[in-house]
Every structure is written in C-alpha cells, then in structure tokens.
Amino acid sequence: HSSVEYFNINNVTQMSDIEHYNFDYSGTSMKALTMKKIKITDMYFSQDDLYEIFADMNITDMTIADSEMIHMLCPSRKSSFRYLNFLKNDLTDFLFQKCDNLAQLETLILQKNKFESLRKVSFMTSRMKSLTYLDMSSNLLRHDGAGVQCQWAESLAELDLSSNQLAGAVFECLPANVQKLSLRNNQISNVPSGMAELKSLEELNLASNRLADLPGCGGFTSLQFLNVEMNSILTPSADFFQSCPRVRELQAGHNPFQCSCELQAFIRLERRSGGKLFGWPAAYVCEYPEG
C-alpha cells in the first residue's frame, strides 16, 4: 500500500482500455485526491467500472474537476468522504439519488454542471446528514413551485444557487435551517409573501435579479446582511427598516434609482437608523431626475 497522503493528477488523457479491478483501500494512507482536466478517449467500457474506483475510496477529500464527468456512483458502503468537489463537469439530476452512504459528507461543490431540477437536488441532499455547505451555482436549475415538495438536509447551513434560472418560486423550496443563501444572478422579480419562514437566515444575496423593490423580512426574522445590488429598484420602500430591524448592512447600490420625495425619505430614514447602506454615496446615483 502507498504511503502517499495527497495525490494530484492534472491534464491526463486515457489511452488504453479501462477494465474492472477490485481495489483494496483498507491499508491506504491517502487522505485527498485531486484530478483536473482528465480526458477519456475510449468510451467502450463499463462506466461503473471507472466510477466505482473513485466512489469507494477510503479518503476524506476528493476533487474531480473540468473532466466532462457524466456520473458518479453512490459508494457501496458507508463512506468517509467529507469533501467532494465536482466542479465543471457534465453531472445531472441523477447524481446520488437515494444514496444513503454519504452521511459524513460536509461540503459538496457541484458548480458548473448540468443540474436542472431544484427539487431533485433537495432530495439528493436529504440523506446527507452532515452536509453543511452546498454549491450549485452556474447550473440550469429551475423550480416551478405549484405545491411541489422539497426535502433538504436539515444540517445544510450555506447554499449557493447563484447563476441559475430560478424565479420567485424558489422561496418555496429552500432549506429550513439555511443561514447563508446566494440567489445572485437569477430571474427573481419578487419575494412572495406567505412563503415558509427561514428563521435562521442571516445573509441573503439577491444581486443581479429583477427586483423592483426591497424585500421585507417577514420570513427572514434573523436577517443581518442583504444584497440587492444591480436589480430594477427605482424607489426603495422606507418600510424596509421597520420590517428588517436586525439588518446591519444593506447593499442596494447600482440600481436605476429615480430621484423623488420617496427616495429622499428612504435616505433620511436610513441615516437615522444608523447608516446601514453599503457603498454610500458612490453606488447610489439617480438615473431618473424628478420631473
């Protein structure tokens, strides 16, 4: 058995046939494997023979990135994985469905893949009892709502859903205990009223969406940081400060503000509340003078 603990493989092209082999990982010293830009040229082999080699590794950290990987098997036994990074591959909604053997996994990075269903992603995590961080940014995720149930890992505290195709219905399918949530660069035009409460949410990033006003904090009673930069907000509502008394920092710059009495009232109230506007005054320039 090898005494290597950290093994990195970069820019490798497979030339020969891939055959089934029963690896024995019981005596390995390896802790982490990183593979980037791996190219498979021979596609006439059993996919499971390849994925099984990695899925059953007795290590804590594994990265397979930028390798056009289309699938990964659920480990055949209770896995020691705590960190999995599958950045920039071709993985889809079929990944880790009904997988019970990733109970120790804490961090899962699936950025820049081909996931489409937020509901299926939620069910993928539901059996990952230790998962605290999930990065699903830059996929093709949608959620149509209409009473569709989602089921997330209860331990999930930080979720990145930025750069997807999500609209307001996403708020019907979010982890109940999430503390830090990024929905940056989606298609959200409003935060629906009457949605399920996210009582633990402290940081919310809604930058680069389609919001016409600041969201209230009726469902975010613990919110402390809010980013709504680069939306379509003309006149932010002064009710925000009453609705969100715990917010310590508001990033609302780079919106097409309309200079009006309402905007002036908002600014005055913000100043009296302790100066919570991040980037003031440079990022807050009126695009539409009052007529």
Q: Residue 69's closest CA among 101, 36, 102?
A: 36
pLDDT score of 282:
85
Q: How many CA atoms lie within 13 A of 153 on its CB side?
A: 26
Query: Looking at the whole model, is its pTM more than 0.85?
Result: yes
On the question of pLDDT at 152 being above 90, the answer is yes
The per-residue pLDDT of the chain, averaged, comes to 89
Q: What is the largest CA-CA distance in the chain?
A: 78
Six-digit token string for 25: 């990982």
State which fold the 1-162 domain adopts. 3.80.10
Confidence of residue 195 (pLDDT cuts 50, 70, 90): confident
On the question of pLDDT at 23 being above 70, the answer is no
Confidence of residue 291 (pLDDT cuts 50, 70, 90): very low
Confidence of residue 19 (pLDDT cuts 50, 70, 90): low
State which fold the 189-291 domain adopts. 3.80.10
**Residue, of 206 and 39, whose pLDDT is higher:** 206
Average pLDDT over residues 210-223: 92
Digit-coded pLDDT (tens) for 90-123: 999 999 999 999 999 999 999 999 999 999 999 9
Digit-coded pLDDT (tens) for 40-59: 776 666 677 788 889 999 99
Q: Residue 137's closest CA among 108, 163, 102?
A: 163
**Residue, of 2 and 141, whose pLDDT is higher:** 141
Distance CA 133, CA 19 (A): 35
On the question of pLDDT at 267 being above 60, the answer is yes
Indicate where the chain has its CATH 3.80.10.10 domain(s).
1-162, 189-291
Average pLDDT over residues 205-229: 94
Distance CA 54, CA 61 (A): 11
Q: How many other C-beta atoms lie within 10 A of the C-beta of residue 24?
A: 8
On the question of pLDDT at 15 being above 90, the answer is no
Digit-coded pLDDT (tens) for 60-85: 999 999 999 999 999 999 999 999 99
